Amino acid sequence: MKPIIIVHGGAGDISESRIQGKFDGVKVAVRAGYEKLMNGGNALDSVEAAVVSMELDENFNAGYGSVLNLNGEVEMEASIMWGQDLNSGAVTLIKEFQHPISIARKVLTDTPHSFLGGNGAKLFALEKGFQQVPPESLISESAKEALNDFLNKGDDQRTEIGKKDEGGVGTVGAVAIDADGHIAVATSTGGINGKMVGRIGDTPLIGGGTYADDNVGGISTTGHGESILKYCLAHTIIKLMEGGLDADTATRQAVIGMTARLNNTAGAITLSKNGDVGIHFSSKRMAWAYVKNDKVYYGIEHDQTLEEPL
Amino acid sequence: MKPIIIVHGGAGDISESRIQGKFDGVKVAVRAGYEKLMNGGNALDSVEAAVVSMELDENFNAGYGSVLNLNGEVEMEASIMWGQDLNSGAVTLIKEFQHPISIARKVLTDTPHSFLGGNGAKLFALEKGFQQVPPESLISESAKEALNDFLNKGDDQRTEIGKKDEGGVGTVGAVAIDADGHIAVATSTGGINGKMVGRIGDTPLIGGGTYADDNVGGISTTGHGESILKYCLAHTIIKLMEGGLDADTATRQAVIGMTARLNNTAGAITLSKNGDVGIHFSSKRMAWAYVKNDKVYYGIEHDQTLEEPL
C-alpha cells in the first residue's frame, strides 16, 4: 500500500489572523511525516516526526507555545499508539521538555507501562537522555496574553472554557499508514488555557485523543478535552468503522454525536486501514493536511479542500 | 426500578488464603453501598460508599493496603462517573489521602475538569478539606512483603508483571442503579506491584476502568491495567450492549476479546440499564458481590454463585 499521512493542528474558534500560520505549520508537519515514510521509516517514525514539527511551532498548542495553567505554567501531555499490537505510550504533566511525544514513544518502547505522569515521567525522561529545558523557555508571548485575557475576564469563566472554545486551540495530531500497512497515531497538547494545575485532558488517553488498530484504522482528536474523554471519541470512531462505516461517515457521526450529547465541540482526523480519509469538526475551524498520491491536501474551513503538489 | 449495586474486589491470581478476606470485604462493601440506596442516596452516593469501604480494608489494593511502586511508595488513582450526563471525575498519583474516590467525586462536582493528577490533585484535595495523612500510614505489611518478593526476583521481571498476574490484585469497583434509574460507577486502585514511579493505569481512565451511561449501563473493570487501557475495556462493553448484547454476553465477549488480543487477564462487572448483571473474568479469580431483590449474591471462582439474606 502507498503510505499516507494526515495531520491536524487543532479544532476551535480560530481567528482569521491565525489561519496562515496554521496552514504553514500543518503543511510543514505533514511533509516532515511523509518524508519519513518515503525514507524507510515506519508509521510510528512518521507520526512522531510530524508532531515534533508542530511541537516546535508556536502556532500550535503543543511543546513550545503551549497554553498556560492558572499558575502561568506549561503542563503538557501526549500519546502515541502502534496499531499492530495496540502498544501505546503516553505522558502527562510534563513541564521541562521540548518534545512530550518523543518521551511518550519511549514509554511505549522502553517500559512495561503505557502511561507515566508528573515527577515519574520527568525522572524517566532524564534517564532516557532527554534534555531538560527551563520551563519558561516553552512559554510564548501569545500564551501569556491568552492567560491574561482569561484571568481578566473573571474566575467564573473557568466552567465555560469549553463552551467558549477559548484556549486549547491547537492540539496537534497525526495518523499514518506505512508501506507495510501498519497504522500509528500521535497526539500532543498543552491542554486548555487557564486550566487548574494538574489537569489531565483527553490527549494522553488511549480511546480519547488517540487510537490505532491495524485491523480498523487510526484516529487523532482535538477539541474540548473533558467532553472527548467522557465520550471516548477516538474509540467511538473505531467502533463505528468496525461496524462497517467508512472513515468519513464514522468520523462525522461520532463528532456530531459527541457535540449533541455534551454540548461542546471537537474535531477528528481518521484513516481507515484501506487508506480512506475522514475529517470532521463541530468547531468553527480545524486546520488539517494530508499527503496521498503525491499531492498535499489541506483546509481549515468547513467544506474546504485545497491542494498543491508535494 | 428497584435499586441494584454490584462490587468487585479485583481480578487476578488470588491465593486460597486470601479468599475469605476478599469475601468478607466485598460483602461489607456491597451492603454499605446498598444502605445508601435505601436511605435516599443516589447511585453516586452508593458507589462512593462501597469503594470507600474497600479503600479502608487492607484485603484490597486501594487506599490503605495499596501496592507499592519501585520506590516503596503508594501512588493511588480512582475515577467516578454519573450516567445521566456522562459527567466524570478522576485522580491519579495520589500519595497522602485515604480516599482517592472521594477526591475524584469532588473533581466531578467542583471543577470544570474531569481528571487531576499529582501535585495539582493534592492541592485541590487540601483546598476541599480532605485530611492529609502520612504516606506511610497507607502502607500495609503485606504490601511491603509483595514489593520485596518482586524486587528479589530480579529486574527483568518488570516487563512481565501482567503475565504473571502478580500485584495489582485487588483493584476495587462498584456499579449501581438507583430508584430514578440513574447509573453510577466508581473504581479505585493502588495500581500494580513494583510499578515505575509515576505509572498511570486504566483505573482513572473513563472508558478503561470505568464507564456509566444511563442509556446503556455501567461497568467497572480490573486486571492488567495496560491491557485494559489499550483495549478500552469498559467502553468496549458499553458499545457491545449498545449494539444489542445483554450485560452478561457483552462482558464475557469483551473480556475474552481483550485476553485473546493482548495476552493478559482482566475482569469486569456490568449492570445494564434494565438491571441485568454481567460478571466475567479471564484471571484465575475475581471477588464480586451484588444485592438484588433483597439478597446478597457473591463469588470468587469461575461459575460460582453463593447467596445469603440481606
Residues 6+ apart with CB under 8 A from B187: B51, B78, B79, B80, B171, B172, B173, B174, B203, B209, B210, B220, B221, B222
Q: Do A158 and B87 touch (CB under 8 A)?
A: no
User: Is the distance from CB of A290 to CB of A173 less than 8 angstroms?
Assistant: no
Q: Among B86, B113, B117, select the one facing A92 at the smallest CB separation.
A: B117
Tell me: is residue A224 an annotated ligand-binding position. Answer: yes
- Helix or strand or coil: residue B215? coil
Cell representation of residue A55: 511541537
Q: Which of B124, B198, B225 is facing A118, going by the closest CB pair?
A: B198
**Considering only CB atoms, which chain A residues are within 8 Å of B119?**
118, 197-198
User: Among residues B19, B47, B22, which one has the least CA distance to residue B209?
Assistant: B47
Q: Where are the beta strands (DSSP E) in A72-224?
A: 76-82, 87-94, 115-117, 172-177, 183-189, 210-213, 217-223
Going from the C-alpha of B277 to that of each of B38, B49, B294, the distances in angstroms are: 19, 20, 15
> Is residue A231 within a helix (H) or strand (E), and if so which, with residue range?
helix A225-231
Per-residue confidence at A157, pLDDT binned at 50, 70, 90? very low
Q: What is the pLDDT of residue B79?
A: 98
Q: What phi, psi does A84 have (nearest 5°)?
A: -65, -50
- Closest residue of chain B to A260, computed from CA coordinates: B85
Supply the CATH number for residue B242's domain.
3.60.20.30
Find out whether A76 and A189 touch, Cβ atoms under 8 Å: yes
Q: How far A239 CA lies from chain B's nearest CA (Å)?
A: 8
Give the residue on A whose Cα is nearest the Cα of B197: A120
What residue numbers bound the domain in which B197 lies? Answer: 4-309
Q: Which of B222, B172, B169, B146 minimizes the C-alpha distance to B14?
A: B169
Q: Which amino acid is at B35?
A: E
CA of B155 vs chain A CAs: smallest distance (Å): 12
pLDDT tens-place values along chain B, 310 residues long: 899 999 999 999 999 999 999 999 999 999 999 999 999 999 999 999 999 999 999 999 999 999 999 999 999 999 999 999 999 999 999 999 999 999 999 999 999 999 999 999 999 999 999 999 999 999 999 999 999 988 987 544 433 333 344 455 789 999 999 999 999 999 999 999 999 999 999 999 999 999 999 999 999 999 999 999 999 999 999 999 999 999 999 999 999 999 999 999 999 999 999 999 999 999 999 999 999 989 999 999 999 999 999 9
> Of A253, A270, A268, nearest to A83 (Cα)?
A270
Which residue matches cell numbers 500485584?
B167
Which of B114, B156, B239 would you mutate first to test chain A, the one with the most A CBs within 10 A? B114
Catalytic residues of A: 171
Size of interface A-B (CB pairs under 8 A): 157
Confirm if A171 and A192 have CB atoms less than 8 A apart. no
Chain A nearest-CA distance from B87, in A, is 7
Count: domains in chain A: 1
With both helix axes pointing from N to C terminus, report the angle between B233-242 and B247-262 in degrees, rounded to the nearest 10.
Answer: 140
Tell me whether strands A115-117 and A87-94 are parallel, antiparallel or unpaired: parallel
Residue A259 annotated as binding?
A: no
Locate the chain A residue with the closest alpha carbon to B70: A120
Predicted ipTM beyond 0.90: yes
